[in-house]
Amino acid sequence: MAVSVLTLTDAPAVAQPETAGAAVNAGVRKPPPGMVEALQRDLGLSAAQVQARLLNEIRLTPIATQLRRRLGSRFGGSWLSGTIAQTLVVGTARASDIPQILAAGARPEVVSRSLAELHVIKDKLDAALPAHPPNVGSVRYVDVRNNIVTVLSEDPMKTEDIIKGIGVDTSAVRVLASGERPRPLYDLVGGDPYYIGTSARCSIGFSVVKGTQRGFVSAGHCGKAGNTTTGFNRVAQGTFQASTFPGSDFSWIGVNSNWTPKPSVNNGSGGVVSVAGSREAIEGSSVCRSGSTTDWHCGTIQQRNASVTYPQGNIFELTRTNVCAEPGDSGGSFISVDQAQGVTSGGSGDCDSGGTTYFQPINEILITYGLSLVTTAGNPPPPTTGTCTGFPHTVTGTLASGGSAYQPNNLYYYSGVSGVHSACLDGPDGTDFDLYLQKWNGRGWVTVAAAEGPNPDEKITYTGTYGYYRYRVNSSSGSGPYLLGYKAP
């Protein structure tokens, strides 16, 4: 059966609210995790001040709702005044409402126009201004504090001329000069579709960053450097920064500011799977693929370092799986638990009868282009090969300062003959990483060789007998990703 790439061409485009009378137990209503800390940071308050503010808001919200219902068409809006000990202010179009507003525990303010009247004015502005260029009144809102409708515009004079012809009370409208240009924001999620040109469709692999440029990785056969892309919604998205095909099959696309990279992969059923790193899974491990044609399918890693011949040429160092895929799934995410594995390249078969699919390992892409994978723990620096070349086995990992890990993949390897064991460790610049070779003696692991220099990079060469071996990577100082290449007799 022929093996082919999986680009799709000529594809079609694509709790009940709390009632005012409900009792509020401030001791039970706790803010969600992280909210207090975020408010401290963004509002410049202490933890105690944030707690006081939130409890006050919980207490005052039902009062505002109750007064809005009681005042009806006279209601002029409500707002909180103050930073910590906030006061509830309620506007009314009739002065006779002042006693009941005070009795409810709020501060009254008599206004010229009710909230309903302001909304009527805003609706008329909404109907007229969007027909004009976006920089003429691109933002409109009701400002209850000032009892007015505000319009933000890059050309206030032109905007005011338009408003005069609408037939609204111009004294109720304020036009402010502003360079604000709102735009929609979209997430980059692995497995989601993107389009190249007018007809070709591929799938997002994983979110990445390079310096200040944000983007994602995908298959190389999906596009060439300079090709532009649009997102799942056909909105302008980005440009291919680099692409390699044939020989290898990977690319990376830089996106514009409308798109936000996420450490997530679409699970095909309305949710996402988080991406925590790019630790290479061992052969036989479970692996799942997300793509824009067939969504979410799983299987196992069969073999690594596979070479395949496509009509366009040879592709090397792919990983072979028994996961199915179809055209349009190209570039999509392969993930094992929460560890990114690679991007979909090509295969044979389909998701009705089953098939074989190959992926390009993610760490090779990160190394080649100097990219940082976007993960739930942040964006670690890209792994580097440094001087660790020519080794038949390579594994990657990330260490915290003072941490350690065992390789390969927290397991060991077996050598059936005597001979030379060699390894090369490439750690992040500015750190002190050490490397140890350990052998099983029947009762425990014994260190048989060590490289403990003051630098991030280490090498080991050891002549030993047959048996079980493993490497221990240790951080004496510093943290970050590393690459380990090793060779056994």
Please spell the DSSP secondary structure of 280-349, one letter per residue.
Answer: PPPTT-EEEEEETTTEEEEEEEEEEEEEEEETTEEEEEEEEE-----TT-TT-EEEETTEEEEEEEEEEE
Q: Which amino acid is at 269?
A: S
Contact present, 230 and 219 (Cβ < 8 Å): no
Tokens in use for 489?
A: 């007799």
| Rounded average pLDDT over 174-198 | 84
Contact present, 182 and 214 (Cβ < 8 Å): no
Which is the catalytic residue, given 203, 218, 243, 249?
249
Domain at 39-110: CATH architecture: 2-Layer Sandwich (3.30)
Which is the catalytic residue, given 221, 278, 434, 475?
221
pTM here is 0.56
Just give the CATH number of 185-381: 2.40.10.10
Just give the CATH number of 393-487: 2.60.120.380
Q: Residues with Cβ < 8 Å from 336, sequence gap 6 or more?
A: 281, 285, 286, 287, 288, 301
Helix (H, G, I), strand (E, B) or coil at 258: coil
169 a catalytic residue: no
- Indicate whether 306 pLDDT > 50: yes
- Indicate whether 178 pLDDT > 90: no
What is the predicted pLDDT for the residue at 240? Answer: 96
What is the predicted pLDDT for the residue at 360? Answer: 92
Band (pLDDT 50/70/90 cuts) for residue 271 is confident
The span from the CA of 95 to the CA of 111, in Å, is 9
The span from the CA of 349 to the CA of 440, in Å, is 44
221 a catalytic residue: yes
- Indicate whether 23 pLDDT > 50: no
Contact present, 150 and 163 (Cβ < 8 Å): no
What is the predicted pLDDT for the residue at 101? Answer: 96
What is the predicted pLDDT for the residue at 114? Answer: 94
Contact present, 288 and 221 (Cβ < 8 Å): no
Please indicate whether the domains covering 39-110 and 185-381 agree at the CATH topology level.
no
| 424-473: pLDDT as tens digits | 898 887 889 999 999 999 999 999 999 888 888 888 888 889 999 999 99
Phi-psi region of 72 (alpha: psi -120 to 50; beta: other; left: phi over 0): left
| 354-366: pLDDT as tens digits | 888 999 999 888 8
Domain ranges for the chain: 39-110, 115-177, 185-381, 393-487
Tokens in use for 364?
A: 């090779």
Long-range CB contacts (within 8 A, 24+) of 352-355: 354/322, 354/324, 355/322, 355/324, 355/325
Q: Which residue has the tokens 């990657």?
A: 396
Class of domain 115-177: alpha beta
Which is nearest to 484 in space by CA: 420, 429, 432, 434? 434
When computed from its CA atoms, the radius of gyration of the chain, rounded to whole angstroms, is 30
Which is the catalytic residue, given 264, 278, 330, 336?
330
Q: What is the DSSP letter of 197?
A: T
The span from the CA of 379 to the CA of 198, in Å, is 33
Most confident of 209-213, 285-289, 367-371: 209-213
Q: Residues with Cβ < 8 Å from 120, sequence gap 6 or more?
A: none
330 a catalytic residue: yes
| 307-319: pLDDT as tens digits | 787 888 878 778 8
